[in-house]
Amino acid sequence: MYPFDPDMENESMSKKPVHEVRLGRIKAAIWENDTQNGTLHNVTLSRLYKDGDQWKDSTSFGRDDLPLVAKVADLCHTWIFQQKREDNGNGNGGGKEHGGKEDF
């Protein structure tokens, strides 16, 4: 176990995703991590649901959620590859800028 570092926790809690994709109740956040080997991306997936009057999210998905999970994951995969292409100077200038959201 690593020692607790409150500065590190505050930094990670204030960090926002570089991009979000949402189809219906399924949402993905794409996170950017700068490493010695360059920029890497991670994706977190969640399902939105309503509990009474309050909206919550879960990382558990039912059978009927899985087609949307697959589509959202595919859109994230495409976005990440587009960013890598643009970073390498091969982009065509189209698409959303960093920090954008896609809702369908």
Give strand pairing partners of 38.
Answer: 35
Average pLDDT, the chain: 83
Judge whether 79 lies within some domain. Answer: yes
Domain assignment present for residue 27? The answer is: yes
Q: What is the pLDDT of residue 90?
A: 64
* Amino acid, single-letter form, for residue 20: E
Neighbours of 19 (CB within 10 A): 23
List the strands of the sheet with 19-23, edge to edge: 54-58, 38-51, 26-35, 19-23, 101-103
Q: How many domains, in total, are found in the chain? A: 1
What φ, ψ does residue 60 adopt, rounded to 5°? -105, 135
Enclosing domain of residue 72: 16-103
- pLDDT, tens digit, 9 for 90 and up, residues 41-78: 999 999 999 999 999 999 999 999 999 999 999 999 99
In a domain, 9, yes or no: no
| Residue 42 belongs to some domain of the structure | yes
Residue 87 confidence (pLDDT):
79
Q: How confident is the model at residue 4 (pLDDT cuts 50, 70, 90)?
A: very low
User: Do the domain assignments include residue 47?
Assistant: yes
Note the pTM of the prediction, 2 decimals.
0.72
